[in-house]
Amino acid sequence: MILTGDYHTHTKYSHGKGLVIENAEVAYSKGLKEIAITDHGFSHPAFGLRKRKLSSLRKDIDTAKEKFGINVLMGIESNLLSDKGDVDLKEDNYDKFDLFAVGIHKFVLYKPKGVFNIFLPNFFTSTFNGRPSKSLVKANTLAFTNAVKKHPIDFITHLNYCCYSDAVEVAKVCADYGTFLELSGKKEHLTKDELYLVAKTGVKFILNSDAHTIDRVGDIALANGLITEGVISKEQIVNIDGKTPDFRFKNYKLKGI
Ligand SMILES: [Zn+2]
Ligand SMILES: [Zn+2]
């Protein structure tokens, strides 16, 4: 199994350690055809991508593309902010980006209700290894499913890492809307049993490193194990063995669908 592109990597523009050109160089040296730079969304006070840096990020991406001759996409790992599916990438900034990923993260500027029904209960339940309440699972599930229904999201990052949703329900909606589910090379986020059920919905998966350091670009070893063990079939993965994903956000921008 050969990775075609790594669509989730970070740089110094948010929480990563490397430069755009360094991530691209590693991607090139590992034989990838594409790489996306997906720094954290604007609503993260400490690590978020800053809007004033967007033109500089685009310049860095163009330089890297030219130097290595591989496709470098300007993406964002947007934050979910409420159970209504609010996210921190708004339509007026769509033209700045090539790729739209979304995930749940701690310590971002949630909508007021999201602080109480998503952020705090996720934080305390994951920190103290507690059992998630039904209302927490419902709020997280609604956050993901409403977001996928409302916005042209390419993929959900590390579903259920430090948060608790009904993964099968989320996967069904993703399958219906053409949003992929990420299998993370960095974080264990779904159990094998959950993944088995999730895969049965017919949802497509995308394998990504979530690299925060340049040495990890293209590293999907963690997810690799799940495929070799037969939990997920290769046919359901959109970015291996020469395949490049048909991304929803790009299609939305081109055709409005
Ligand atoms: Zn993330
Ligand atoms: Zn990330």
d(CA 97, CA 54): 9
Helices (H), 151-246: 167-177, 192-199, 221-228
Q: What is the pLDDT of residue 64?
A: 98
Q: What is the pLDDT of residue 257?
A: 65
What ligand has the least distance to the C-alpha of 79?
A: 1
Query: Rounded to 5 degrees, what are φ and ψ at 5?
Result: -150, 150
d(CA 232, CA 205): 9
Whole-number Cα distances in Å, 159 to 101, 104, 143, 156, 225:
12, 8, 12, 6, 18
**Do residues 125 and 161 make contact, with C-beta atoms less than 8 angstroms apart?**
no
What one-character DSSP code corresponds to residue 126? H
**Do residues 162 and 126 make contact, with C-beta atoms less than 8 angstroms apart?**
yes
CATH topology of domain 5-255: TIM Barrel (3.20.20)
Mean pLDDT, consecutive 10-residue segments, the chain of 257 residues?
96 96 98 98 93 97 98 98 96 97 93 90 91 95 98 98 96 98 94 94 98 97 86 94 97 86
CA 102 – ligand 1 centroid, Å: 8
CA 256 – ligand 2 centroid, Å: 27
Give the position of tokens 């040296």. 29
Helix (H) or strand (E) run with residue 177 in it: helix 167-177
CA 20 – ligand 1 centroid, Å: 18
The dihedral region occupied by 179, where left means phi > 0, alpha psi between -120 and 50, and beta the remainder, is beta
Q: Is the pTM of this model over 0.85?
A: yes
CA 131 – ligand 1 centroid, Å: 22
What one-character DSSP code corresponds to residue 35? E
Domain map (residue ranges) of the chain: 5-255
79 pairs with which residues across the strands? 103
CA 147 – ligand 2 centroid, Å: 18
d(CA 92, CA 76): 14
d(CA 245, CA 180): 9
Give the position of tokens 């604007």. 42
Whole-number Cα distances in Å, 79 to 24, 55, 180:
24, 21, 16
